[in-house]
Amino acid sequence: VVNCAGQWAREVGALAGVTIPLQSVQHQYMVTEPIDGVARDLPTLRDPDRLIYFKEEVGGLVMGGYEPNPIPWAEGGIPEGFHFSLLESDWDHFEQLMAQALARVPALESAGIKQLVNGPEAFTPDGNFILGEAPELGGFFVGAGFNAFGIASAGGAGRALAEWIDGGEPPMDLWPVDIRRFGALHRDRRWVLTRTLEAYGKHYAMAWPHEEHESGRPVRTSPLYERLKAAGACFGSKLGWERPNWFATDGREPRDIPSFGRPNWFDAVGAEHRAARERVALFDQTSFAKFLLLGRDAEAALSWICANDVTRPPGTLVYTQMLNKRGGIECDLTVSRLAEDAYYIVTGTGFATHDFAWIRANIPDRLDARLIDVSSAYAVLSLMGPRARDVLASVTDADVSNAAFPFGTWQEVMIAGTAVRALRVTYVGELGWELHLPTEAAGAVYDALMEAGRPYGIANAGYRAIESLRLEKGYRAWGADIGPDHTPLEAGLGWAVKLKKNLPFLGREALVAQAAKPLQKRLVGFTVDDPDIVLLGRETILRDGQPVGWLTSGGYGYTVGKGIGYGYVRHAEGVTDAFLDSGRYELEVATERVPATLHRAPLYDPKMVRVKA
C-alpha cells in the first residue's frame, strides 16, 4: 500500500495503525491582474527576509508567504465531505504579508486583484515531507506532507519511493525525510499541531546553527531534569527528550543566542570539555534508545544483522554497524551480551524508531528472536575522564581496575543500593563508563557520584561538549559522517567489520567487492589554524584548488585548540594514502578559502592509551 493522500494521509494511515504526523494549515496567496513589465518567463522570486514569494501567472503575479502566526485548519480531523474546496479569504491575516510585498514590489499598490486564495495544506512538525515504509507495518509506504516541496521534489520523491518498494530498503540516504525519524510522541495530534505551527512559521526564517525548537516542551525528561536545571543546564530537544546541551555555571542565563560566529556558550562548553579531558565529567544520557533482543536464536539473528562479531561470550561489549545490501551504514551502535539468549543494544536518541524498525525487519524468518524497546526503563549516566575510576571506586565495592574490568566489557556493580549495568565504553575518548540503571534510582546514583567526585573536580557536562570531544577523537556520527551512502571501508571503520572471519552478514558481498578495488572516497579529518574560523559542516573541501567533497561535520577542539571538520575526499581513480597526503587543502568558509591541514589519524590519543588505561 502506498499512502499519498496528501492532507488526508493521517486519517488513511490511522486505518492501518500507522502514525503520520501531519497538520493542515491555512495557506493564502493573492493573484493579480496583468501588470506591465511582467514577462511570461519571469523566474520564481523569493524574499525570505520578508517571508514572501512571487511567481508569474498570465502576465500578472501570484504572491504568498509564510506568516509567523499561521492559522491551523481541521484540528480535529478533516470534515466529512470536504473535497479540495477553498476556505474563506482572510484579508486581515494576509495584511502582514501584503505590507512586505508592497515594499518589495511597489507595482502591487496599483495592480488589480483577481482573488485571494485560501486553501489548506498539510505540514509536518519539522517542515520536511514524509517518505518511506511505516515502522509499524511492513509493506505500507507513505509519501505525504510535501506542502511547498511538492512541485520541486515530486519526481525525485516518486522515484525514491518506487525504488524503496522494489529494493526493500531506501535506495539512498533519505534520513531528513524518512518516516522513521518520528516516534510515539508524534501520535499526539495536539503536540503535532503545536510543533507544526512553529515549523510553518520558520519556513522562510533564518536557519541558525544549533537552533532548537521551543514549542511543545518539555515532554520526555530524565529523572535528573530538575537537578540539572537547577545546576544551570541549557536543554535541547531530541525526539521529545530534554537533554542538557551545556551548563551556565557563572551566573549567565542558560539560553542560546543565535550566531554564525562564536556562540555565547563557547567558553562554557570549553570548561566542560576540559573537565572531561583533565578531571572527570558526568553526562546524563538517559535519552539513549535501548533495546533487548531475546530468544534462542538471538545470536544467529544479530550475527546476520551486525557487521562486527557479536558471537562473543556474555560480559562483552561490541561496537558495530548494521549495513544495507549496498554495504551502506544503516545503524551505528553498541551491543552488550547479557546471556546466551539475550543482548542489550544501545543507540542514539534520535534513531530509536529507525534502528528498532531496521533490526526487527531484518531478523531472518523462523528465528526465535524478539526485540523489545526498554528505553524508558533505564537511566544512563556517563562517567568520563582520567579520574573516572577513582570516582567509581569510591561508590562501589566492585574491582574497577583495568585488569578486572577491561575496555569493551560490562559488569553489574552496586551503587547507592542499586544494581547498575556498567559498560566500559566511551564516545569522548577518555577512560570511562556508561552506567545503565533503573530509572527510579537515577537521583540516588547521580547524587552519590557527584558527592564522590567533588574531591576530583567533577563537573556536569552536556551534549555540545560530547560533540567537541568526539571530533578530537575522530569518532563518527551517524546521520552526518556516516550513513546509508557510506560503507565502513570508506568511513575508516573497516576494523569493526568481520570480513576476515567466515561469518555471513547483511552487506558482506558489497564490502568484499568494494575491497577488491581502490576506494573512490574516504573520510578524513581537517583542522584550520585561524582561531576565528568557525566550522559548522557542509563547507566545501578543495584539493589543489579543485572541489573534492564537503565537510560532514564541523566544530572546535578545545584540547587541540583548533577548528575541526570531517569529510569525504572523492577521486574517481581512487583515494590512496599517497593521494591524500600529496594535496594542498582548503575549506571554503562563508565564501572564503581557508588553508586546512588533512589528518588521517585521530587528533587526540590515536593509540587509545587513555581510553584503555
Q: Give the SS3 label for residue 257.
A: coil
**pLDDT tens for residues 477-534?**
999 999 999 999 999 999 999 999 989 999 999 999 999 999 999 999 999 999 899 9
d(CA 35, CA 110) in angstroms, rounded, equals 9
pLDDT score at 168: 95
Give per-residue burial for 99-120: e unless 16+ CB within 10 Å, then b: ebbeeebeebeebeeeebebeb
| Amino acid residing at 144 | A
Q: Percentage of residues in the chain with pLDDT exceeding 70? A: 100
pLDDT score at 148: 78
Tell me how far CA of residue 301 lies from CA of 22, 126, 342, 402, in angstroms: 35, 34, 11, 32
Closest CA to 596 of 522, 528, 523, 533: 528
Q: Kindly write down the DSSP assignment for every residue of 158-188, as one continuous string.
A: HHHHHHHHHHSS-SS--GGGBGGG--GGGG-
Q: 21 and 110 in contact (C-beta within 8 Å)?
A: no
**pLDDT tens for residues 21-48?**
999 999 999 999 999 999 999 999 999 9
pLDDT score at 181: 98
Closest CA to 30 of 67, 2, 55: 55
Q: Burial level of 494, CB count in 10 A (0-12/13-18/19+)?
A: middle
Average pLDDT over residues 58-69: 96
**pLDDT tens for residues 569-580?**
999 999 999 999
d(CA 473, CA 608) in angstroms, rounded, equals 9
Average pLDDT over residues 104-130: 96
| Amino acid residing at 531 | P
Q: pTM value?
A: 0.97
Q: In the structure, what pLDDT confidence band is assigned to residue 160 with cuts at 50, 70 and 90?
A: very high
pLDDT at 147 > cutoff 90: no
pLDDT at 251 > cutoff 90: no
Peptide bond into 21 cis (omega under 30): no
pLDDT at 149 > cutoff 90: no
* Strand runs labelled E in 222-365: 233-238, 241-247, 281-284, 289-294, 317-323, 329-339, 342-347
Q: Give the SS3 label for residue 234.
A: strand
**pLDDT tens for residues 414-470?**
999 999 999 999 999 999 999 999 999 999 999 999 999 999 999 999 999 999 999
Average pLDDT over residues 289-293: 98
User: How many CA atoms, within 13 angstroms, populate the side-chain half-sphere of residue 458?
Assistant: 23
- 13's CB contacts (< 8 A; 6+ apart) are 3, 19, 20, 134, 140, 142
The per-residue pLDDT of the chain, averaged, comes to 97
Rg (CA), the chain: 26
How many Cβ atoms are within 10 Å of 130's Cβ, its own excluded?
26
Place of cell 502566526: 69
d(CA 553, CA 526) in angstroms, rounded, equals 10
d(CA 209, CA 265) in angstroms, rounded, equals 13
Helices (H), 406-563: 442-453, 463-473, 508-515
Q: 423 and 317 in contact (C-beta within 8 Å)?
A: yes
**First-to-last CA distance in the chain?**
54
Q: 200 and 123 in contact (C-beta within 8 Å)?
A: yes
